[in-house]
Amino acid sequence: MSLSTLKNKSERGFLDGQFLIAMPGMEDRNFHRTVIYICAHSAAGAMGFVINRAQNLTFTDVLLHLEMIKDDDAILLPPVARDFPIQTGGPVESGRGFVLHSDDYISDSSIPVSDDISLTATLDIVRAISKGGGPKRATMLLGYAGWGAGQLEAEISNNGWLNCPANEELIFDRSLDDKYERALALMGINAAMLSPHAGHA
């Protein structure tokens, strides 16, 4: 599923606006102990962002790479820009940046993903943040997680993922180390109780 599909979607799947929480037996190392916010799910596939994996780059690094500022200008950035969080959103198109944000910032290229959250993947939002503007709550994610038709449903049925309604506070919370445990707690689950093996009654 592509970003253009997300923008033009009319069909909504049961995983839209849900968290996926990786089970301990998840074999794909890209997703070990991850929490993923699903932005789009339909018969064509699914797209979402890992929300608990750090990224070594800073927002200043991104601005320098995009040549939006020069080295000497970095110290002049407003605090909100210098401290703006960058995370690893997933293994697909890992060099591409996406900003997941509250809906108080909307541009022509912003895509609503829920009643309160939008996605923007163009330079206008990066420019706004660099000047101290932009949305009240936001995070930049490099790359995304994507699944083809039926792939995610198969992974869930094979005990790869748990799912529950997303929590906006958790999406934008900057404390990543225990976000996996806190996502499980939304379901009343203690991580230590999870088995890495699928069970069949």
Q: How far apart are CA 106 and CA 118, in angstroms?
A: 8
Q: What b-and-e string marks burial along 94-125, b requiring 16 or more CB atoms within 10 Å of the CB?
A: eeebbbbbbbebeeeebbebeeebbbbbeeeb
Residue 118: the pLDDT is: 94
Q: How far apart are CA 84 and CA 56, in angstroms?
A: 13
Here the CATH number for the domain that contains residue 133 is 3.40.1740.10
Res. 133 pLDDT band, cuts 50 70 90: confident
Kind of pairing between the strands at 18-22 and 161-165:
antiparallel
Residue 14: the pLDDT is: 81
- For the residues 33-46, what does the mean pLDDT come to? 95
- Res 190 pLDDT > 90: no
Is residue 201, in this structure, part of any structural domain at all? no
Is residue 199, in this structure, part of any structural domain at all? no
Q: Looking at the 3D structure of the chain, how many domains does it have?
A: 1
Is residue 30, in this structure, part of any structural domain at all? yes
The encoded tokens of residue 80 equal 């909100």
Residue 120: the pLDDT is: 94
- Res 102 pLDDT > 50: yes
Is residue 49, in this structure, part of any structural domain at all? yes
- For the residues 185-192, what does the mean pLDDT come to? 88
167-180, pLDDT tens digit by residue? 999 999 999 999 99
Residue 4: the pLDDT is: 54
Give the residue carrying structure tokens 């101290």. 132
Residue 197: the pLDDT is: 55
Is residue 66, in this structure, part of any structural domain at all? yes
Is residue 198, in this structure, part of any structural domain at all? no
Q: Percent of the chain, pLDDT > 90?
A: 66
Secondary structure, 3-state, 151-182: HHHHHHHCCCEEEEECCHHHHHCCCCCCHHHH
Residue 173: the pLDDT is: 95
Is residue 62, in this structure, part of any structural domain at all? yes
Domain enclosing residue 169, as ranges = 3-193
Residue 199: the pLDDT is: 46
Beta strand residue intervals within 45-151, DSSP E: 45-50, 86-88, 92-102, 111-112, 117-120, 138-147
Res. 60 pLDDT band, cuts 50 70 90: very high
Compute the mean pLDDT over every residue in the chain, rounded to the nearest whole number: 88
Residues near 26 by Cβ (< 8 Å), separated by ≥ 6? Answer: 32, 33, 34, 160, 161
Q: Using alpha carbons only, give the angle 139, 119, 13 rounded to the nearest 5 degrees.
A: 120
